Structures are given as C-alpha cells and as structure tokens.
Chains A and B, each alone.
Chain A
Amino acid sequence: MENTNKTHEEKKLIIDALKQDELNWISKKKTKMKKYRKVRLSRSVGGDIFLLIVLLLFGLFSAYPLIFTITNSLKGLDEIFVFPPRLFPRNITFENFIDLFNLIGNTQVPISRYFINTLTITLFGTVGHVLLASLCAYPLAKHSFPGRHVINQLIVYSLMFSTVVTQIPTYMIVSWLGLIDTHMAIIIPAWGFTLGLFLMRQFMQTIPDELIEAAKIDGANEYQTFFHIVMPLVKPAWLTLIILLFQQLWGIDGGNYIFTENLKPLSYALSQIVAGGVARTGTAAAVTVIMLIVPITVFIINQTKMLDTMAHSGLK
C-alpha cells in the first residue's frame, strides 16, 4: 500500500516538475529571445535591408492572388472587367455573394445537403484518422516489439511518393470493398494518411518515459495510459493532424467515387455554379472565398500548435 502511495506521489511530483519545466522553458525562451536579439553581432545593415526586400517581394507574390480573389468577390461585374485591372474595388458590393445564394437556391438538391455531405466526410475522416493514427503511433514511438523497426521504415518510405501513384489500384480496392458511391470511399482511405501518423509518432517520442512508467506503476493498462496520459500531452499533434486532414477533405469534390447527386460534397456543387462562364467570374470569386476562408481560419487559430508539432517532424 505504502509503495503504491509513494509512486502515486512520485508521479504527481514528476507531472508537477514537467509542468514547471514547461513554464520555465517558455519564460527562458522569452528572455533568451530578447537577449539574443541584442547580442547578435554577425549582422550587417546592408544584408538586413537586402533580405527584407526579398521577403517583402515574395510576400507580395504570395499574397497578391489571394487578395485579388477576395477583392474580386467584392466587385460588381462592371468593375471586374475594367481596364487596367484594379486591385481594390471603388464600390464594395456583396452582389456576388447574393447572386451565389440565389443560384444555390435553384439547385436540384438543396445546398444544405451538399454542405452536410462535406461536413460528414470531413468530420468522420478527421476524427477517425486522429484516433487511429494516434493509437498506432503510440507503440511505434514508445515501445519496442518485433516488427516495429520495419513498420517505421515503411512509413518513412510511404512519405516518399504521393497517392497519385497508387490511384488505379486504390480505385479497384475501393470498388471491391463495395464502397463506390458512398462517403466511406473517401473517408476510409483518408484514415490511412501516413504523414499524419508520421508527425504523431515524432511528437509522441518527446513524451518523457517516466510519465508512462508512472502510469504503469499505478496499474493503468496500455489503453488507459494512452487515453489518460499520452493523448492529453499530444494535443498540439492532433490539432496538426486535424488541420492537415481538414484541408484535404474540405475541398474534395468526390471525383470518381461519388455519383449520386444527393451524396456529392459542397465543393462539387460550387464548381458546377462556377462553370457558368465569364459572366460568373464574380460569383466564382465568391465561391473561392467561401471555400478558402474555412481552412485558413482553422490555421490561424492553430498556427502555434502546428509549429509545435512540426518542430519534431525531422527524419533521422
């Protein structure tokens, strides 16, 4: 009895120490940042200016098309085709968005249906992936068992080619499994997203072994350890996985896999509207803005967490 109490306390101590460590680390990082900016000697003013200009130029290159899309969506049709093109509209109007909503009202299938389809795919795909990938990443990162090394190698190799290479057999397998024309045709392959597993595994390797040992001594089995100790600690990593998968699934249009109109995702419906030609340029911009806003907002909220995860992304 005494023994378990002791270890329990020990565990608490370790957790406290870790928390303290983290706090220390953050404050240290902050003071270090300040210090280091003062101390840096190896800088020349000329170099600073040159590099800043490079940065600004590319920043413009990077932002210009996006800004143009956004401002285009706020222009009336007359202003979109003005010569020479103007980046910012004279009169801001929401008529493109209003047009879009009117067009949406006229589709055979109510737009809410498409939206629900996209939401289903994104939600089930993301949640399932985060769960399965974390569950798989934990033993790969923290325990040794026969076959672990081979699996780790396979995962690294699988990062080295894109899914386009395997799309023919994947299509065949999806159809053998009878998943064609269901949401599962997109959701289940998405669960096997290896970059997600890789990032999760890398992040889990940073968890101190003591914590896992402590949980074991307390009598937790591996699943309990996983859900109560490991998962809360890797929050930045699962947020990253959510962002990455979300970005992929949000814009998916179903392509070869989904034929029934009722099951098609939002992106498909919107692209049909845009296909209406030049007169729809403004509406198309509005569509792009709507599709764009969601992943970017998700990234804005989670940038810091995502960088936390990426810090451990390295290959050895």
Chain B
Amino acid sequence: MKVKNIQTEKPFVKPSLKKRIMKNKVYYSMIAPFMLIFTVFTILPVLMSFLLSFTSFDMLQLPKFIGLSNYINLFLNDDVFLIALKNTLILAFITGPVSYLMAFVFAWLINELSPKVRWFMVLIFYAPSISGSAYLLWLLIFSSDMYGILNAYLIDLNLINTPILWLETPKYALFILIIVQLWLSLGVSFLAFIAGLQTVDKTLYEAAAVDGIRNRWQELWYITLPQMKSQLMFGAVMQITNALGIGMVSVSLLGFPSVEYSGHTIVTHLLDFGSANSTRLEMGYASAIATILFVLMLGSNLIVQRIIKRVGT
C-alpha cells in the first residue's frame, strides 16, 4: 500500500479546470449516456414546462408569449382549479403524513418479528403498491348497488337499509381516495425503513437498556430514529411526491370528471388540459398547472427535509 501512496501523493496544486476535465474524461464518457437521457427527458421538460407556462400554445402553432395570464386565469378565473388545488392539499396533508407514519410504524413493528414472519409481512404490506391495476378492486368494494362489498356487509349487519352511493356522492370522494391511497402507499419508502432498521446497531439497544432507557418509545426516539435519519429523509421524499401526485386513482375510481369535481386534483386538472388525447390542447395553460405542481412538490420536499434534519437533536 505504501508504494501507491508515494506514487499518488504530489504536492497539492489545484490544476486548472480544463486539465481536471481532461484528466477525468473517462468518467464523463461513463456518465454521458445516462446524463443525456436525463437531460432530454427530465431537465429539458422541466425547463420547457416552465417556459411554456408563460405562453399560449396549442401544439399546432408556435407558442405565443402572454406573460402571467395563465397563472392569473388559474387563480382568478378557474374555479375548478381552485377546487383541484384544495382537494390536492387536503389529500396531501392527510395521506402524506399518515402514509409516512404508517410506513415507519409498520416497518418498526415488523422489524421485531422473527425473520420468517417478517419476510411474510413485508410481502403482504408491500404487495398493494406493486400490484398494478389491482386497486380497481376498490371499485367493487365501494360499488353503489347492494352487491358492492361494503354496502353488502353494512346491509347484512343492519347498519344501513339502502345501499350508499359511495362513488357518486361528493362528500365521500376524498374519504375514498384517502383510503385507497393509503392502501397503495407502502412502497419503496417502507422498504427503505425496513432495511434501515436492520442496519441500526443492535448493541446500542443493550447499552441503552443498561443506561436506563425505560420503554420502546424512548428507545425509538433516542436511538432508532437518529440512526435512521437518512432513510427517513428518503422516505419523506417518496411519500410527499406521491401524496401530491394523486390523480390516476381518482380518474379510475371516481370517473372523469368526478361528480361535482369532488375528486378533482391538480393532476386530473392537468390531464384535462394537457394530455395528448384531451380535446382542449391548451398546452401553455397545462404547463402553468404542471409548474405549480412542480413548485408544490419541490417546495414541500425541501421544507420537510429541513424539519427531519432536526430529528433527535
């Protein structure tokens, strides 16, 4: 090992940027293919979306600059957008934190089980999020006739006399979306938490027990959480992004548009104006919606990151 040190250690002079780039060109060649795709399909779209949001654009003619009109229209003249914004925020404020807590609490509980049971429970909890279109079964559960599973049980138990129109009644819309979204929400962050818990140094628990940590809650707060901070941050990013991106579930369960826009979210509003088979083709307007969603997602993520950094300190 010593031989190597002598070879590489030179008196430290920072070489010029050009030299450093040339010296590392093999690394640039390695990152180039992915970064090219990343630039074309992630960075460029974000920039385009931002720029288009200041234009009127129908995909046929060239975009026309109209300043802040799209944003002004969204907030002042588009009542449906305000409903969508309100619904999105309600859904995000509930499903975000709840799903985050659920992912953590269940990961934490499962972690105490024996390895075989743990393996099985991870499968059960993670399965909904990878089961593709299986969430459509919730259509059958909330179906409005007496054969709808929930209605059937409720009638059978004599709790109600006539079937409830779950999917068609505005006041149930958000409730249903929350339930289904929570059902779908134990995804990658849940796995990250399980994995993170397994890497927590177990000897610390023994030491803590000796040092007078009395119950599992103290143990959790003083030992487990601080050690998992990085996974907690990662999980937060995943859950927040999902919570603000609710839309497809609403379209599939409540229809489009949902009754009185009760399940309308920013994403469904965006699809309404900006999807390729939408009849409106108001891409500038849709880009403004997308930009608002982008700012919401990035903003709330950055705020939450700040908060989590303080855990256990």
List residues of chain A with CB under 8 Å of any chain B CB: 3, 7, 10, 32-33, 36, 39-44, 47, 51-52, 54-55, 58-59, 61-63, 65-66, 68-69, 72, 81, 83-85, 132-133, 135-136, 138-140, 143, 145-146, 151, 154-155, 157-162, 164-173, 188-189, 191-192, 194-195, 197, 213, 217, 221-223, 226, 244, 247, 250-251, 256, 267, 271, 281, 284, 288, 291-292, 295-296, 299-300, 303-304, 306-316
* Assembly CA distance A44 to B297 (angstroms): 40
Q: Does B84 contact A (CB under 8 A)?
A: no
Supply 11 further A-B pairs (C-beta < 8 A) apart from A160-B298, A288-B132: A42-B205, A58-B102, A63-B124, A136-B33, A161-B294, A168-B45, A168-B290, A188-B41, A192-B38, A295-B131, A306-B191
For the complex formed, measure the closest distance between the CB of B188 and the CB atoms of chain A, giving whole angstroms.
Answer: 7
Contact check, B52 vs A36: say whether CB atoms are below 8 A apart. Answer: no
The 4 closest A-B pairs by CB, nearest first: A314-B230, A136-B34, A166-B45, A145-B24
Of the candidates A43, A136, A161, A307, the one whose C-beta lies within 8 Å of that of B198 is A307
Q: Evaluate whether A315 and B234 lie within 8 angstroms (CB atoms) in the complex, with A165-B297, A292-B132 already known.
A: yes
Contact check, A311 vs B38: say whether CB atoms are below 8 A apart. Answer: no
Q: Does B186 contact A (CB under 8 A)?
A: yes
Of the candidates A170, A197, A244, A251, the one whose C-beta lies within 8 Å of that of B132 is A251
| A65 partner residues in chain B, CB cutoff 8 A | 128, 134-135, 137-138, 141, 183
Contact check, B183 vs A62: say whether CB atoms are below 8 A apart. Answer: yes
For the complex formed, measure the closest distance between the CB of A232 and the CB atoms of chain B, giving whole angstroms.
Answer: 17
For the complex formed, measure the closest distance between the CB of A228 and the CB atoms of chain B, giving whole angstroms.
Answer: 15
| A10 partner residues in chain B, CB cutoff 8 A | 1
Contact check, A172 vs B133: say whether CB atoms are below 8 A apart. Answer: no
* Assembly CA distance A241 to B256 (angstroms): 33
Please count the residue pairs between chain A and chain B whose beta carbons lie under 8 angstroms apart in the complex: 307
Of the candidates B27, B105, B156, the one whose C-beta lies within 8 Å of that of A222 is B27
| B203 partner residues in chain A, CB cutoff 8 A | 32
Contact check, A62 vs B42: say whether CB atoms are below 8 A apart. Answer: no
Interface of A, helix, strand, loop or mixed by DSSP: helix
Residue in B49, B215, B276 with the greatest tally of chain A CB atoms within 10 Å: B276
* Interface residues in B108-157 (C-beta closer than 8 Å to A): 109-110, 115, 119, 121-128, 130-138, 140-141, 146-147, 149, 152-153, 155-156
For the complex formed, measure the closest distance between the CB of B56 and the CB atoms of chain A, giving whole angstroms.
Answer: 14
Contact check, A292 vs B134: say whether CB atoms are below 8 A apart. Answer: yes
Q: Evaluate whether A226 and B30 lie within 8 angstroms (CB atoms) in the complex, with A143-B24, A195-B188, A310-B191 already known.
A: yes
* Assembly CA distance A166 to B293 (angstroms): 10
* Assembly CA distance A3 to B7 (angstroms): 13
Contact check, A164 vs B293: say whether CB atoms are below 8 A apart. Answer: yes
* Interface residues in B180-206 (C-beta closer than 8 Å to A): 183, 186, 188, 191-192, 194-196, 198-199, 202-203, 205-206
Contact check, B130 vs A299: say whether CB atoms are below 8 A apart. Answer: yes
Q: Does B177 contact A (CB under 8 A)?
A: no
Contact check, B231 vs A139: say whether CB atoms are below 8 A apart. Answer: no
Query: Could you write out 6 A-B pairs with CB less than 8 Å apart?
Result: A7-B3, A42-B214, A160-B297, A169-B45, A169-B287, A303-B119
Contact check, B270 vs A164: say whether CB atoms are below 8 A apart. Answer: yes
* Assembly CA distance A78 to B149 (angstroms): 15
